[in-house]
Structure 1
Amino acid sequence: MFFKLSATNGATFYLNDLKQKWLKLQITPDVFAYNLNVTKSKFLRVNNGIYVEYNPERTRLRRIPQTIEKLRPVFDEEQFNFKKINSLELLISIPYEGSKISLIINKSPLTVFHTLICPDVAAGLPQCLTPLALKFCITFLLSLRDEEKSFRIGYNSPGALASVNHLHLHLLYITTDLYIDKAELKILKGGNIFRLSENMPTEAICFLFKKWNGSELTMQLQELYNFIIWLCDHNFPHNLFMTRDRSPLKDETLKVFVFTRKYFCYIKELNTYNIGFCEMAGYVTVGDLHLYENLTERQVLSKIQDVTGNVYKLIYEYFEN
């Protein structure tokens, strides 16, 4: 079944509630680390159009990231987790398939409405994707109206820039087309699993989802989850980026990109930019003005290529078997 709790309490209903509460909290003292105020942004237009924003407050004022050393870490009650948030930070709790999805503000936002999607907070789940988390996010985005397709969802695994070892994904509002939105795809398996074309400078796997009900959706969700489990079994950190197809004739298609990395990134460097799901998709935030003014597309793509290395040969073999 698609995300639909009732005729009035569906995905759009909750999204509208989220937007109103998020904006109110932005002007409420001592809730966010800062008021979002991105004054500089640009495309690094050479061939691919990487998008860059200057957001110095995030670099200076964000919570110090945790070091997570395993792809399947153990949840630690002593470290910061989302059970410890201020009650004002919880925007909405959504009942979903016998569980509860908490939508919590990101205290150091990248975009307006930047929210954390946290399944079953009380259970203390580590930062490892679950079938329920994937299903909620995919059906939530597919159930939104076409004019809301600028909402995207991302995930960083442990070793791939995850900052908190408590299961969460990021809901972002990005209105501009990104590098990944325009990336050329090539069929890899069946009718719904693709790779980026050899013409593209980076690599990724793309799972396509449409507004189907029943067994077909269940099967495709299982394919995606099986791949993520395989990545964990083989110790590959990974990032996900979910976005509605932004071409005019494909509004009811959702693309789920999976980016695989060749090595762990344990600690984020706060004085530069790091490669997580945003950067893989072509959305780069920097906090240093000199870096913002001098960053090139070649530098960004080179950094992405460095963290992915040559792992995709094995990835393609996985889908060919």
Structure 2
Amino acid sequence: MRFKNIKEPFNHLRWNFTKLHENEILLYLRCEDRPISEDALDRHVIAVNASPLERDHSLIIPAINKCLPQVLTPTAIRIATDVMLLVADDSFNILFNSLLGQASVNHLHMHCLYWPYESDLIHRRFETLNDLSNVYIIEPPHWICSAFAFQLTNMSEYDTFLRNLTSCVEFLTQQNQAHNVFITRAQPIRTTGPEREEDRAGRRPQYVTAYVFPRVNAAGAKPPTSFNPAACELAGCLTSYTIRFFESASEQSAVRIIEEEAQLPSGVFHKLALDFSDILSNRPLGTSHCSHNNMLEELTSPEIDELRDTFQMFTPHSPNFSNRTRRSGSVDKDIDNRSKFLYSNERNLSFL
């Protein structure tokens, strides 16, 4: 399906999830103590995915009856966060692809699936975004593409986490900038220490973490001849659709595809990041640009050359397989009064 804008209106004439059969709906979602949305008639569902990447790959469809276009809403982000907190498995992920970002259906939905490999992104060192203490960024050469990161470390930060993540995707949508979102569990985000540090002993807690990847706008999802850089792929989790690609793929070829088809130019990401920091700090747009330019003017010529060289060096790392165990942090302890999803040996969801 080809799209021209990431805010295209919903079209009833195109295929959408109202055409699902009742036996394709797995769960209806609701929260009694804090309703998910103001409209009591809204139906938030988890449904079967007809084209799964992995066993149990399903769809989360917020307010399916409202027929919303494929644009993340505060309600959708709330649902994604709550489901992440409810599922007791560290290999569970939630994904979102915007229009022009490999989405193929213009009806608001997210993907949820268990992935047997953890993203190597969770081991990387990040930087704080300007003077914001709870928003992080990473760029090449430290990762294969640029990203914002948000982490929920305590239930007291629940509303702040939702607000910051919502502000980010709303800002990118207003800029007509395609984006992918990868929500997983990760060790506490580091801004110091080595570039990559893996917690092999499993001593660190695992927190709900959202990575937002602004990316080059693509006209539409392509036939999967090799792989399409979407949320999973930009987080380092690749899917092979053909035996030929599986046998011939290399890390270098995968990185090249991502660079050519998804990676934003450094200057474009810097502008987005600085403007977004102004929005979160309630400053006039462009304020951070002035500060950034003043900082560059203070650099000497050798320092600028060294900075340029660092962006030309890139040694990517493949995602590492690990047997993931339950290492969730304090956030999950605060939801004892909520319904829990159980993940049985047969991977069937049920209520407790």
| Distance in 2 (alpha carbons) for counterparts of 1:316 and 1:227 | 10
Q: What residue ranges of structure 1 are gaps of 5+ in the alignment?
A: 1-65
What displacement does 1:190 show? 2.6
1:185 alignment counterpart:
126
What displacement does 1:117 show? 0.2
Does 2:240 align with 1:305?
Answer: no
Distance 1:171 1:253, change over 3 A: same
Distance 1:85 1:245, change over 3 A: same
| Distance in 2 (alpha carbons) for counterparts of 1:267 and 1:225 | 24
What displacement does 1:187 show? 2.0
Distance 1:211 1:267, change over 3 A: same
Amino acid at match of 1:180: L
Does 2:48 align with 1:108?
Answer: no
Q: Deviations over 1:42-88 (max 9, x none)?
A: xxxxxxxxxxxxxxxxxxxxxxxx22322111111111111101222
2:209 alignment counterpart:
255
| Distance in 2 (alpha carbons) for counterparts of 1:250 and 1:241 | 21
Q: Select which of 95, 98, 112 maps to 1:171.
A: 112
| Distance in 2 (alpha carbons) for counterparts of 1:320 and 1:75 | 31
2:249 alignment counterpart:
295
Please state whether the residue corresponding to 2:54 is helix, strand or coil.
Answer: coil
| Distance in 2 (alpha carbons) for counterparts of 1:252 and 1:177 | 12
Q: Deviations over 1:12-47 (max 9, x none)?
A: xxxxxxxxxxxxxxxxxxxxxxxxxxxxxxxxxxxx
Please state whether the residue corresponding to 1:275 is helix, strand or coil.
Answer: coil
Q: TM-score, normalised by structure 2?
A: 0.67
CA contact (8 A) 1:90 1:102 kept: yes
Q: What residue ranges of structure 2 are gaps of 5+ in the alignment?
A: 188-198, 279-352
Q: Deviations over 1:131-185 (max 9, x none)?
A: 011011112212333xx11110000000001111110000010122223232332
1:202 alignment counterpart:
145
Range with greater deviation from structure 2 (310-319 or 117-126): 310-319
Q: Deviations over 1:181-232 (max 9, x none)?
A: 323322225332111265334221111112314xx32233112111211111
| Distance in 2 (alpha carbons) for counterparts of 1:136 and 1:250 | 26
| Distance in 1 (alpha carbons) for counterparts of 2:227 and 2:206 | 33
1:243 alignment counterpart:
184
Distance 1:316 1:249, change over 3 A: farther
| Distance in 2 (alpha carbons) for counterparts of 1:85 and 1:69 | 26
What displacement does 1:116 show? 0.1
What is the 5 A alignment of 1:259-274?
259-274=213-228
| Distance in 2 (alpha carbons) for counterparts of 1:317 and 1:137 | 27
Q: Select which of 60, 69, 79 maps to 2:14.
A: 79
Range with greater deviation from structure 2 (152-161 or 302-311): 302-311
2:271 alignment counterpart:
314
What displacement does 1:252 show? 4.6
Structure with a larger share of its residues in strand: 1
Distance 1:194 1:81, change over 3 A: same
Does 2:77 align with 1:134?
Answer: yes
CA contact (8 A) 1:184 1:200 kept: no
Amino acid at match of 2:165: L
CA contact (8 A) 2:121 2:143 kept: no
Range with greater deviation from structure 2 (294-303 or 96-105): 96-105
- Percent identity reads 26
Aligned length: 252
| Distance in 2 (alpha carbons) for counterparts of 1:131 and 1:114 | 23
What is the 5 A alignment of 1:16-95?
66-95=1-30
1:63 alignment counterpart:
none
Please state whether the residue corresponding to 1:172 is helix, strand or coil.
Answer: strand
| Distance in 2 (alpha carbons) for counterparts of 1:183 and 1:238 | 20
Q: Select which of 97, 101, 109 maps to 1:156.
A: 97
What displacement does 1:320 show? 4.1
1:19 alignment counterpart:
none
Please state whether the residue corresponding to 2:118 is helix, strand or coil.
Answer: coil
Distance 1:152 1:103, change over 3 A: same
| Distance in 1 (alpha carbons) for counterparts of 2:175 and 2:149 | 19
Q: TM-score, normalised by structure 1?
A: 0.73
What displacement does 1:291 show? 1.5
CA contact (8 A) 1:142 1:244 kept: no
